[in-house]
Amino acid sequence: MTAPADADAGLPEPVPSRVGVSRPAPLGDSLQPYLPLSTEETENLRGQHAGFASRFIAFIVDCVVSIGVFMLVLGAASFAASVLTGSSIHWSRANTWVVVAFFAWEFLYYAYFWTASGKTPGMVLLGVQVVGQDGSSVGTKRGLLRTLAFPLSFLLLGLGFLGILLGRDRRALHDVIADTAVVYCWDAREARLRSLAREGSSRQP
Partner 1 sequence: MIDLVVESLDLNALIAQIDLNAVLARVDLNEVVDRMDLNEVVAHIDLDEVVARVDMNKLLARVDINQIVSRIDVETLVKNTDLGAIMVSSSSTLATEAVDQGRSHAVSMDDTLARWVSRIRRNHTGRAEPPELPNTPEEP
**Residue 19 or 98 with smaller CB distance to partner 1:** 19
| Residue among 121, 132, 139, 151 that touches partner 1 (CB under 8 A) | 132
Instruction: Give the bridge partners for 132, in sequence order.
Output: 180
Shortest separation between residue 198's beta carbon and partner 1, angstroms: 5
Site string for partner 1, 97-126 (x = CB under 8 A): ---------------------------xxx
Instruction: Judge whether 202 and 165 are in contact, CB under 8 Å.
Output: no
Stretch binding partner 1 (CB under 8 A), from 32-40, 94-102, 106-114, 150-158: 32-40
| Residue among 8, 134, 157, 205 that touches partner 1 (CB under 8 A) | 134
Shortest separation between residue 2's beta carbon and partner 1, angstroms: 7
| Residue among 8, 21, 26, 29 that touches partner 1 (CB under 8 A) | 21
Contacts of 127 (CB under 8 A, 6+ apart): 54, 184, 185, 186
Contacts of 72 (CB under 8 A, 6+ apart): none
Under the binding rule (CB under 8 A), the answer on residue 141 touching partner 1 is no
Under the binding rule (CB under 8 A), the answer on residue 146 touching partner 1 is no
**Residue 106 or 138 with smaller CB distance to partner 1:** 138
Taking alpha carbons only, the member of 133, 137, 149 closest to residue 113 is 137
Contacts of 49 (CB under 8 A, 6+ apart): 169, 170, 171, 181, 182, 183
Q: Which of residues 148-187 bind partner 1 (CB under 8 A)?
A: 165-170, 181, 183-187
Q: What angle do CA 111, 113, 118 make, to 5 degrees?
A: 105
